[in-house]
Structure formats: C-alpha cells, structure tokens
Structure 1
C-alpha cells in the first residue's frame, strides 16, 4: 500500500546499534512504498543529516550516547514536529519513560528485545510497517475518509433535542495532547461535567495513561468501557485501537466502545466521538479540539457547531502541533480560539451556564 501517492514514505533511523539499523532497514525496504533515506548512531550526528534532508517519519532509540532519545525527541518536536516512532529496549508499557515519550509527541512505541534481537524485530515487522504508514499520514491533512461508525444510524435516531439536565464535554487531541490533557484535568473540580476524550495513542498505553491522570486529578479518570455512563466528576478516555462514541439513554449519556475501520487514519478517531456528540447531545455539549497533527476531529467539530454545541479550538501559540485546531478553524468549526491556560475555566463556565437555562 502506498500511503503518499507515488512518493515513498521517507524514513530516518537513529539507533546506536549497527545491527538494529541494518535489520530495520532490511525490514522496511522490503515494502516498495517505504524508503530509508538515512541513519545515524547518535542524535548529534543525526541532526546534521536531518537538516539536509528531512524525513517523513523518524524511528528513534531512547538509550544512546551523547544525547538520550527523549531529549532528542523534544528537540525535534520543537524544531520541526515530525512523526516519531520509538523503538527501544527501555520502552516498557507503563513506565515513566514511555509516558514522557508520549507526552513529548511520540507517534508509536515498540519495545525492542535485548536478546534475540533480529528475530524480535522480524516478529514486529507488520506492526512496525503499519505504524510507519499511520505516522506518515499524520504529518498532513488528508481528504475525508469513510463515514464514521455512528453515521450508519439513521437521522431518526437523533435524540439531542430532548431536554436533559446533563451537560457533556468532548475533548480531542493527538501529538502533544497527553501533556495538554494533564494540564486541563488537574485543574477541574470534582463536580465538573462528564468528559469524554479521544487522544491518539497506541493500544495498551491508554489504560496506564488514564491511571496516571487519575492519581493526579480531583476528578476520576479512567479508560472507557462499553456502555459506561458519563457523569459529573468523571473523564473517560477512549481505549487505543477502538472507537468511542456517545449515545443518549433517557436523561443521561453512555459511551459505546466499538471496533471498526480507522477513520481519518485513526482508531480511536476524534471525528467519531464528535459526530456522535453532534447527533446525541447537540446544544448540551462542549467540543474542544486541541494540539495534534492532521485534521481528525475538524469535521466532527463542525457537525457539533451546526447542531448547537459550543465549540473551541486551542490556539497556535500553546499547541505542540497546530494541525487539528488549524483545520477546524479553517472550516469555521470553532466558535472560539483559546490558549490552553483558558480551557479549564471554559469547561467550568460551560457547566455553570447549565443552571441558567
């Protein structure tokens, strides 16, 4: 599959192991739509090469001489945000280092075996190639993808016009979103409206991320399960590898956690969540699109606005990557453009306004 038209996906590898560089190159270049344009044994050597010929995707080790991979990742994201896949023996799910890499903007995480290295890398070839393809797509907005899961329902199923005392907040983000979410959720009181979140994140990492946030926040934060009820003081995070959409049930809201094709190249997709909020919550919802590459969520936010929801985009100055909010603003989906620092207060104001309706 060629994900960038006739042009191959251009990959650069930074790893101090010559064997890893060799094996990764062999595995990736078996696929005609991927080309390894360069490699380096350490970040300081890599940066000079990168500035001469910038890749579409970077594959990065964390444990290297002269500069560690995490520091280098932050430097890259500050200089020129580039989809970066971590491939490291230190990248164990649930570790602080992995959490820091995701905060810094890593697009994917693979744990590299210390023994039997060649066989271990060959075993993850399919997943690695898929991650490279997905990371390359995240680098720029694309044409509209297939309709999200909830659009299979008919318009007659819309229930948001019914009066409900509940209000709901929907958040969508990608690169840089983990740190932004932490900033927001830590500042919310335990009586804030129910919150549903899509953060682009690999499978197996969302549960750990939610547990970490839960330990930092006044509100409860956890990974969503199918048919969880949304209520005040609770934030539900879509599981990696599954879509999450909102559904009305009487006077309250539930989430449906479902498998299905990727939407806008993502699963979970922000558009799936936002479009379901447009359908089932309407003016009872607040939609906020935040830092991230690509355009996932922009059309869904527009649908929310068209159905009477309040809509906000994070401003460029406080985004790690101003891709998703920029597309939403361009489409006229965002009523307001606000810095990250203002978002917790806006959520609280949205809740307070419910009492004056």
Structure 2
C-alpha cells in the first residue's frame, strides 16, 4: 500500500509565491499542495475543508496578519506550520515570535529575485515541510502581542544583569548545547533558569545568517546571564552564553589558561553551517571532562557522533526526551550513539545540570 502524501496548504498574499511554492511541493513524490490561499480568512475555510498535514504561512498579509492567524490556529486547531519570512531584521524578530507561538520552522525568502531565490531554496523548503509533518504540535495559549507595551517590538531591552556571584557552582565547566527544529524555544527553556554565576554556555542552533542576532538579543532580554552572538577570538566567560552566528561554525579553542571562541565560515558539516558536530567535537578535544553536553530537539543526526566523543573524553551529557521534543531526531541519534548519560524532559534539564554543578563544586560525587 502506497504511503499517503503529505497534504500542504500554502498561505501567501503573493500570487507568484503561491505559484512557486505549489510547483515546488508538487514536484515531490511524497507531498502535494492541496490548496493555496491569498489570506488567512480564505485559508481558514481551506483548512477546515481540506484538513492538510502542514501549512506554509506568510507573515504580512491583508485582512489578518500571519501572527494573529497563527495564534488563533495554535489555540483552536494546532497543526504544523512552516513560516515563510523575509530576510530582514524585522522579519527575523517576527519569525522568532512565530516560533514562540508554535510554528515548527521557517524559510527565509529573499527580498529581491523571489522566483530564483525560492527555486534555490526548494530543497530546504520541502525538507522543512517533511520535518513539520512529523513534528509534535501542542496547543498554545495566546502570547501577548509585541506592542502590548509602549516599547516598539524591534527595541531590545537590556535589563541590568546582577554581577557574577562568587563561584558556588563549578564555573570551570562549559555547557555545550546543540539544537535544530524546535530549538529556539527549547534553548530559552534551558537558559532562563540559569543563575548569573552559571558556567559559560556555548550554543549551536541551526539558523541562517541574519536571524541569530535577533535570537541572541531576545534571549538576553529574558535571561539572568548575558546572551550574545559569539565573536571570533572572544574569551569564553562564566555568566555568559555564546550563540553560533548564522552561516558560521562555532568551535572552542585554548589560549593559555583561557577558552576562546573560533567563528569560521568553512564548509558545511552534515549539510549544516553552523553544525553541532563542529562545536561538540571541539568540546571533546579541548574541554574533555570540563564539558557538559546538552542535545535538544531537532531533525537529523548532526552532533550525535561528536557527542559520543565528548562522553568518551569525560563530558557528562543530557539529552531531551521524545515526549518533550518537537522533533526527536538529533536526540534519538545521540542516544543510539551511546552519548547520553541522562535522557530528561526539557523542563528537568536545567535543574539537573545545576544540581550536578553544585554537587561538583562542593565535592559531592554524582553516580554515572
């Protein structure tokens, strides 16, 4: 019996984009575009009638913008959504908000040369639709609108951070995090409970250039630690989190007694740049037992083999469990590689890490 095709509804106010996405989807043997809507009100009826597996959703549309429609959809009829965003600073901020509301992933369409640009992105688009079709979608409560305060949505509020406290945690450690699909919200869940004296944190989240600046700024406004894009040659400090810039790998190196960030635009690894494999392998080679590994939600196997290398070098590793993942791909592969010491729900990862760090700093041994 033939496997059922992934049924997709395209929602975009541009007739050109609707036509291009429809053609790209229908070229695939395992999916079909069952409908294309010019605005959310038409899309609402299509979804009700056609019951698609995935929708692609533009942000800026007439009669109801994409974020408002997404908010209603995730509250009333949760389903996998792939956002189609413009590659601009404002587009990045809106996209991150869509992910916060429950969108599975996004595609950054070019501002000019849309026809050729979307064709170049065809492989990425259909891969993300396939991933979305397998994702665990949860009902979301409404998120307060970005203009709920008098501060413009594009303004980043840098809250005063407490000074780094005297080391009660084991601050010679460095926490290394890898994530992909669903990772932006998973990373927020891990970082926001971190105290200001937490060890340094280095992060690779699969994300294109132009989006990681907004991602880092958003996290910095929410966290007690400092969060920023990593800069080449920068010293890695406790109380800070460093995110691999989109389109660049991040790895760790040693400079005297200090750890430093190396940011480079070398070839993609496992089809990704940044790649979790690059960060985790450097952690195995440079940090050894001073590393703590965390593998979060994501499709594929990027970082799984290198996480096992981290374990073999003395790292202690946490992997997100299937029930709390949006996509249980990268965590599953890490487990299959024997890289995990503990497999935990997302909400339990940070408490477990902090308990281990606290025990390490006071000389209490953890059983492995």
When normalised by structure 2's length, the TM-score is 0.73
Aligned to 2:96: 99
- 2:290 matched to 1:290? no
**Cα gap change, 1:289 to 1:23, in 2 (>3 Å):** closer
- 2:274 matched to 1:268? yes
Aligned to 2:36: 40
SS in 1 for 2:90: coil
Aligned to 2:220: 214
**Cα gap change, 1:292 to 1:75, in 2 (>3 Å):** farther
- 2:306 matched to 1:277? no
**Is residue 238–residue 268 contact of structure 1 (8 Å, CA) maintained in 2?**
yes
Aligned to 1:244: 250
- 2:6 matched to 1:14? no
**Cα gap change, 1:345 to 1:261, in 2 (>3 Å):** same
Deviations 1:122-164 (A, max 9, x none): 25235532532653685799xxxxxxxxxxxxxxxxxxxxxx9
- 2:118 matched to 1:125? yes
**Cα gap change, 1:250 to 1:134, in 2 (>3 Å):** farther
Aligned counterpart in structure 1 of residue 128 of structure 2, from 113, 135, 138? 135
**Is residue 104–residue 132 contact of structure 2 (8 Å, CA) maintained in 1?**
no
Question: Gapped runs of 5+ residues in structure 1?
Answer: 1-7, 114-118, 142-163
Aligned to 1:152: none
**Cα gap change, 1:31 to 1:318, in 2 (>3 Å):** closer
**Is residue 167–residue 354 contact of structure 1 (8 Å, CA) maintained in 2?**
no
SS in 2 for 1:301: helix
- 2:185 matched to 1:189? no
**Cα gap change, 1:64 to 1:322, in 2 (>3 Å):** farther
**Whole-angstrom distance in 2 between the partners of 1:138 and 1:219:** 32
**Is residue 295–residue 319 contact of structure 2 (8 Å, CA) maintained in 1?**
yes
Aligned counterpart in structure 2 of residue 340 of structure 1, from 338, 346, 360? 346
Q: How many residues align?
A: 316
**Cα gap change, 1:346 to 1:248, in 2 (>3 Å):** farther
**Cα gap change, 1:75 to 1:334, in 2 (>3 Å):** farther
Aligned counterpart in structure 1 of residue 235 of structure 2, from 229, 234, 239? 229
**Whole-angstrom distance in 1 between the partners of 2:287 and 2:76:** 39
**Whole-angstrom distance in 1 between the partners of 2:133 and 2:292:** 26
Q: Per chain length, whose mean CA-contact separation is higher, i.e. which structure has more relative contact order (CA < 8 Å, sep 6+)?
A: 1
Deviations 1:44-94 (A, max 9, x none): 344467657x57xx5322347688552377479955x57x24146999334
- 1:245, distance to aligned residue in structure 2 (A): 0.9
**Whole-angstrom distance in 2 between the partners of 1:76 and 1:108:** 21
